[in-house]
């Protein structure tokens, strides 16, 4: 009983953390669009802050690789404000080690650098929830690229470079994330489309929530498509069962 209560509290906290990240990303997109900038139209980097200076932030992504995020006078630095208020403008010194950040801008995966146009900072309990969820990669969630499918077993190359098999059962539900911009300008985001296991293909990015049962990870929900999950877990399909197809 106690374990169930703890699991419920953890799931609620993680769902709240991810909702905040998505909310902040939407605000960043609005700010960027108003200024005519690229912002959310470009790639995103998310990770755990390990060092901060007046001109840069160093953070590790979900694979444990460190990136240097360059901050200039044109970089917008924001943190979630009080409930019902827009994000707060912050300074580099307000970003602390162990915060979780998402940076938008020009990403160089060879040099491991980000020339940031916008940096979104999450701190406190929300950052702690994301860190806890990252530690559960492979245990309560899996995200990465599909490399093989054999019957009801999907092999996934996870974001941290580890290959893991997930085995669907009759209770597993599947959806495909809506295409980028599918919700229309300013309207509600498009709902994911129910699919089945047969619609999952090698090369798809997927995220799954579920649990380890013996040596197997058994998902209760799988989301295909969309952006690969970043630090802290899948942003699409997180937090339990969504209406969807089955195997």
Domains of the chain: 2-131 (2.40.50.140), 136-224 (2.40.50.320)
As a whole number of angstroms, the distance between CA 195 and CA 176 comes to 6
pLDDT in tens, 39-86: 344 578 888 899 999 999 999 887 778 999 999 999 999 997 566 667
Q: Where does the pLDDT of residue 241 fall: very low under 50, low under 70, confident under 90, or very high at 90 and above? A: very low
Evaluate if residue 184 carries a pLDDT over 50. no
- Minimal CA–CA distance to 223: which of 202, 188, 197, 203? 197
What token pair was written down for 244? Answer: 């969807």
CB count in 10 Å sphere of residue 223? 27
CB count in 10 Å sphere of residue 4? 8
What token pair was written down for 199? Answer: 């619609």
CA 95 to chain centre: 20
């Amino acid at each position: 009983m106690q374990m169930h209560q703890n699991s419920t509290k953890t799931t609620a906290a993680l769902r709240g953390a991810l909702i905040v990240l998505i909310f902040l990303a939407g605000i960043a997109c609005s700010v960027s669009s108003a200024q005519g900038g690229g912002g959310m139209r470009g790639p995103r980097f998310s990770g755990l802050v390990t060092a901060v200076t007046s001109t840069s932030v160093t953070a590790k992504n979900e694979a444990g690789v460190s990136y240097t995020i360059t901050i200039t006078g044109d970089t917008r630095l924001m943190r979630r404000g009080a409930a019902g208020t827009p994000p707060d403008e912050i300074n580099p010194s307000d970003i602390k080690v162990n915060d979780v950040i998402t940076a938008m801008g020009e990403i160089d995966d060879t040099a491991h650098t980000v020339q940031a146009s916008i940096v979104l900072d999450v701190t406190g309990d929300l950052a702690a929830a994301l860190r806890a969820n990252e530690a559960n990669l492979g245990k309560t969630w899996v995200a990465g690229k599909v490399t093989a499918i054999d019957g009801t077993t999907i092999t996934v190359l996870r974001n941290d470079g580890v290959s893991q098999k997930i085995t669907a059962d009759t209770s597993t539900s599947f959806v495909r994330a809506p295409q980028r911009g599918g919700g229309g300008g300013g309207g509600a985001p498009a709902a994911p489309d129910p699919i089945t296991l047969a619609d999952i293909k090698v090369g798809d990015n997927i995220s799954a929530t579920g649990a380890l049962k013996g040596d197997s990870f058994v998902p209760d929900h799988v989301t295909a498509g969309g952006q690969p999950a970043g630090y802290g877990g899948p942003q699409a399909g997180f937090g339990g069962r969504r209406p969807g197809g089955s195997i």
